[in-house]
C-alpha cells in the first residue's frame, strides 16, 4: 500500500526498501524540496535509507511542522463564514477551537463575529445563547431556515400570498391558457405606469373577481363597527400577512387603523368607502388608471380616477407624507406596496411579521425631523418672545422647547462607541421602581418616543434605568451605562491647560449664564452605535 504525507507531494511504497528503488522513485517525481531532501538522504546511505519507518519519521521531522498556538489563535480570530454554509464554517471553527485555550465565552464571541451580516440580522431579533454550543445550534437552525431548499419557493395551494409584479412596459397579450377559474391577478396600468396586485393561489379575495366575474361562495364579507369591510374569512385556509397598526393625522385628530404591507402591489392604496367615511380630501388623476390582469386581460373593476392629497401617516415613531390611490379593496383599508418599501427600505423580520428598523433615509427624514407631530401640534416655535431678553430675540428659536427636543444632524464629529475586541454589550438588570417612579418612567419613555430620542429595539443588550431624587423633590432619570463603559475603548487625550483656556477669554466683556436645554441629547452618537 502507498503512504502519503499530506501536502508534501511525495509518495512512498512499503515495497521500496533498497536504495536503488528509492532513488528511482524520487527521480520519477518533479524536483521539489522534498525530493531533493530524499535524494540527499539516500545518497548518504544512512539507517533511514534502508528503513521505511525511519525514512518517514525523518521526513515528518523535516517538513511537517505543527502550527504554533499563536498561529492557531490568529486563524481562529480571523475566521469568517464567507459564502459557505454555516455547517462548513462551524466544522472549521470547531477544528481550530480544540487547539486553543480560549474560554467558552471568547469562543462564542469569535464564532458570532465570524457569521455573515445577513445571519447576524436574523439573530438580532432572537435571544442569543450564553454558550458556544447554544450559539452554534441556533446559527445552524437559522441558516437552515434561510436556505432556499429548506422550504418551498412558492406556497401551498391552500395559502394566500402575493408576489411582486411591476413594470414600465405595456402588459403582454392575453393567452387562452390563463383563462382558468383560479384567482385573478390585478394590474392597474397605462402606457407609462403599471401597477398590479397578483394573487398566486387560493380562492379569490373579495376585491378580486373570479373568471366569471362573480364572487365565490368561499368568501364571506362582514361589516365592522366602524362601517367598513371587515377581513375576509377563508374556512379552509390560513392567512399570514404583514399587518401594521398605523395612524392617519387629520388635523388634530389621529385615526388609528391597519395597513397591509405587500411587495406585490406596485402602488399605495386606500379603500374608497373608508376614505369617504373619514372625509379625506382627494384629487383627480390626469388620466384614469385601468385595472387589468397581469397578462393584460381587463378585470371587472372600475378604473382608478382619484388619489388622496398629502396625508400624514404615522407608524410608531415613523412619520411620513404619502398619497394613496383610491379604489375598492377589502380590509385592511390601506395597502402599502412596493414603492413604499423602496422609499423607506425597512428591515422586516418575516418570521415575526414586524419591522425591526427603518432605512438610512428614514433616520433623518421620518424618525427625527417630525418631532412633535405625534401630538398633532404645529411646527411653529413655541417661544414666548416677551420672556426672551431683547438682546437675544433675534435668536428666539434657540429657546424653543420643541426644537431642543430634536436630535442634531449627524456629522463627522459624532461620538463613537468603539468596543474592546472580543467583548459584547452587557444585558443589564432591572431596578425596582415605586408607583411614583413607574409613572415618571412611563412619561419619560413616552416623551422620548415622541421626540425620537428613544426608539423601539429588540436587541438583547440593555442598560438599567432608575431615578434619583432631586433637591426640589422631583425625580431625575438615570441610565446605568457602567457596564457599557467598562468595555468601551477610552478616548484619552490631553485637556487644555487652565491658563491656556483663560487666555482664550482675554478681552471678553460679556458672559452668559444661560443653561443648555436637553444638553445630553446635543451630543450625537455615531450612526449605527
Indicate the average pLDDT of the chain: 72
Model pLDDT for residues 326-384, shown as the tens digit of each residue: 988 877 899 998 899 999 989 888 777 778 788 877 877 787 444 444 444 444 456 67
Q: Which three cell numbers stand for residue 302?
A: 372600475
Read off the C-alpha cell for 287: 388620466
Edge-to-edge strand list for the sheet holding 334-336: 162-163, 194-199, 186-189, 282-292, 304-308, 325-327, 269-271, 334-336, 253-261, 242-250, 311-315, 318-322
Rg of the chain over Cα atoms, rounded to whole angstroms, equals 34
Give residue 240's pLDDT band: very low, low, confident or very high (50, 70, 90). Answer: low
What residue ranges define each of the domains in the chain, with the CATH number in brackets?
Answer: 2-63 (no CATH), 69-150 (1.10.1200), 162-365 (2.40.70.10), 385-503 (3.10.10.10)
Q: How many CB atoms lie within 10 A of CB 94?
A: 13
Is the pLDDT score of 258 beyond 80?
A: yes
pLDDT score for 4: 43
Distances (CA, A) of 390 to 23, 153, 342, 385, 386: 103, 69, 48, 9, 8
Distance between CA atoms of residues 283 and 292, nearest Å: 23
Please give the DSSP secondary-structure letter assigned to residue 471. T
Q: Is the pLDDT of residue 217 over 50?
A: no
Does residue 110 surpass a pLDDT of 70? yes
Higher pLDDT, 182 or 523: 523
Query: What integer pLDDT is reported at residue 284 of this predicted model?
Result: 92
**Out of 60-64, 265-269, 279-283, least confident range:** 60-64
pLDDT at 194 over 60: no
DSSP category for residue 83: T
pLDDT of residue 207: 38
Determine what percent of the chain is predicted with pLDDT higher than 90.
Answer: 9
pLDDT in tens, 2-60: 344 444 434 444 444 454 454 445 445 566 777 777 778 777 767 767 777 787 777 77
Helix (H, G, I), strand (E, B) or coil at 520: helix
Mean pLDDT of 285-294: 78
8 A C-beta contact, residue 13 and residue 25: yes
Q: Contact 186/170 with Cβ under 8 angstroms?
A: no
Residue 508: predicted pLDDT: 87
Q: Pick from 199, 167, 201: which is nearest to 338 by CA? A: 167
With bands split at pLDDT 50, 70 and 90, how would you rate the model's confidence at 297?
A: low
Q: Please tell me which residue, 71 or 385, carries the higher pLDDT value.
A: 71
Query: pLDDT by residue (tens digit) across 458-477?
Result: 788 888 888 888 888 888 88
Residues 145/125, Cβ–Cβ less than 8 Å: no
CB atoms within 10 A of CB 508: 7
pLDDT recorded at residue 299: 63
- Average pLDDT of span 278-294: 84
Distances (CA, A) of 78 to 71, 73, 93: 11, 9, 10
CA distance 501 to 495: 10
Q: Three cell numbers at 277? A: 367615511
H or E segment and range at residue 224: none
Where does the pLDDT of residue 283 fall: very low under 50, low under 70, confident under 90, or very high at 90 and above?
very high
For 406-460, how does the pLDDT look when each residue is reduced to its tens digit (9 = 90+)?
777 777 778 888 889 889 888 877 778 888 888 888 888 888 777 777 877 778 8
The pLDDT assigned to 29 comes to 55
pLDDT of residue 203: 35
Rounded to whole angstroms, the Cα distance separating 352 from 348 reads 9
Range 245-257 average pLDDT: 81
CA dist., res. 488 & res. 421, Å (int): 9
**Residue 252: its pLDDT value, please?**
64
pLDDT greater than 70 at residue 239: no
More confident residue, 299 or 331: 331
| Element spanning 247, H or E | strand 242-250
Comparing 148-152, 286-290, 382-386, 400-404, which segment has the lowest mean pLDDT?
Answer: 148-152
Contact criterion met (CB below 8 Å) for 263 and 338: yes
Beta carbons within 8 Å of 102's beta carbon, 6+ residues apart = 73, 76, 110
Amino acid at each position: 500500500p502507498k503512504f502519503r504525507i499530506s501536502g508534501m507531494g511525495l509518495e512512498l511504497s512499503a515495497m521500496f526498501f533498497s536504495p536503488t528503488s528509492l532513488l528511482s522513485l524520487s527521480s520519477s517525481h518533479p524536483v521539489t524540496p522534498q525530493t531533493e531532501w530524499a535524494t540527499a538522504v539516500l545518497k548518504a546511505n544512512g539507517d533511514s535509507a534502508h528503513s521505511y519507518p525511519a525514512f518517514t519519521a525523518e521526513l515528518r521531522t523535516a517538513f511537517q511542522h505543527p502550527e504554533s498556538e499563536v498561529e492557531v489563535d490568529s486563524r481562529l480570530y480571523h475566521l469568517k463564514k464567507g459564502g459557505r454554509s454555516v455547517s462548513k464554517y462551524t466544522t472549521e471553527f470547531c477544528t481550530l477551537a480544540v487547539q486553543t485555550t480560549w474560554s467558552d465565552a471568547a469562543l462564542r464571541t469569535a464564532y458570532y463575529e465570524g457569521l455573515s451580516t445577513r445571519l447576524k440580522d436574523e439573530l438580532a431579533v432572537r435571544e442569543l445563547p450564553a454558550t458556544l454550543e447554544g450559539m452554534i445550534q441556533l446559527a445552524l437552525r437559522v441558516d437552515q431556515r434561510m436556505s432556499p431548499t429548506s422550504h418551498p419557493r412558492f406556497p401551498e395551494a391552500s395559502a394566500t400570498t402575493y408576489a411582486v409584479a411591476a413594470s414600465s412596459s405595456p402588459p403582454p397579450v392575453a393567452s387562452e391558457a390563463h383563462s382558468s377559474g383560479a384567482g385573478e391577478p390585478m394590474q392597474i396600468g397605462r402606457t407609462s405606469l403599471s401597477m398590479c396586485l397578483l394573487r398566486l393561489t387560493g380562492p379569490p379575495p373579495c376585491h378580486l373577481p373570479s373568471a366569471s366575474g362573480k364572487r365565490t361562495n368561499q368568501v364571506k364579507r362582514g361589516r365592522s363597527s366602524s362601517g367598513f369591510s371587515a377581513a375576509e374569512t377563508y374556512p379552509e385556509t390560513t392567512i399570514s400577512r404583514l399587518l401594521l397598526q398605523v395612524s392617519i393625522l387629520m388635523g388634530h385628530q389621529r385615526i388609528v387603523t391597519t395597513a397591509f404591507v405587500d411587495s406585490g402591489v406596485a402602488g399605495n392604496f386606500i379603500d374608497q368607502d373608508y376614505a369617504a367615511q373619514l372625509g379625506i380630501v382627494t384629487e383627480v388623476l390626469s388620466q384614469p388608471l385601468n385595472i387589468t390582469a397581469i397578462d393584460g386581460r381587463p378585470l371587472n373593476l372600475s378604473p382608478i380616477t382619484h388619489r388622496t392629497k398629502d396625508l400624514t401617516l404615522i407608524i410608531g415613531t415613523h412619520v411620513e407624507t404619502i398619497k394613496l390611490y383610491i379604489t375598492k379593496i377589502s380590509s385592511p383599508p390601506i395597502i402599502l406596496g412596493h414603492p413604499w418599501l423602496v422609499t423607506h427600505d425597512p428591515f422586516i423580520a418575516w418570521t415575526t411579521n414586524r419591522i425591526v428598523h427603518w432605512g438610512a433615509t428614514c433616520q433623518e427624514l421620518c424618525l427625527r425631523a417630525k418631532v412633535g407631530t405625534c401630538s398633532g401640534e404645529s411646527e411653529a416655535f413655541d417661544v414666548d418672545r416677551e420672556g426672551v431678553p431683547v438682546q437675544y430675540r433675534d435668536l428666539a428659536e434657540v429657546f424653543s422647547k420643541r426644537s431642543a427636543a430634536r436630535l442634531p444632524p449627524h456629522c463627522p464629529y459624532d461620538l463613537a462607541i468603539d468596543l474592546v475586541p472580543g467583548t459584547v454589550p452587557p444585558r443589564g438588570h432591572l431596578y425596582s421602581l415605586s408607583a411614583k417612579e413607574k409613572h415618571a418612567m412611563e412619561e419619560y419613555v413616552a416623551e422620548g418616543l415622541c421626540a425620537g430620542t428613544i426608539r423601539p429595539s429588540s436587541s438583547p443588550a440593555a442598560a438599567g434605568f432608575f431615578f434619583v431624587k432631586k433637591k426640589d423633590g422631583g425625580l431625575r432619570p438615570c441610565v446605568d451605562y457602567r457596564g457599557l463603559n467598562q468595555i468601551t475603548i477610552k478616548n484619552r487625550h490631553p485637556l487644555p491647560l487652565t491658563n491656556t483656556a483663560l487666555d482664550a477669554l482675554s478681552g471678553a466683556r460679556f458672559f452668559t449664564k444661560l443653561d443648555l436645554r436637553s444638553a445630553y441629547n446635543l451630543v450625537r452618537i455615531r450612526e449605527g452605535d
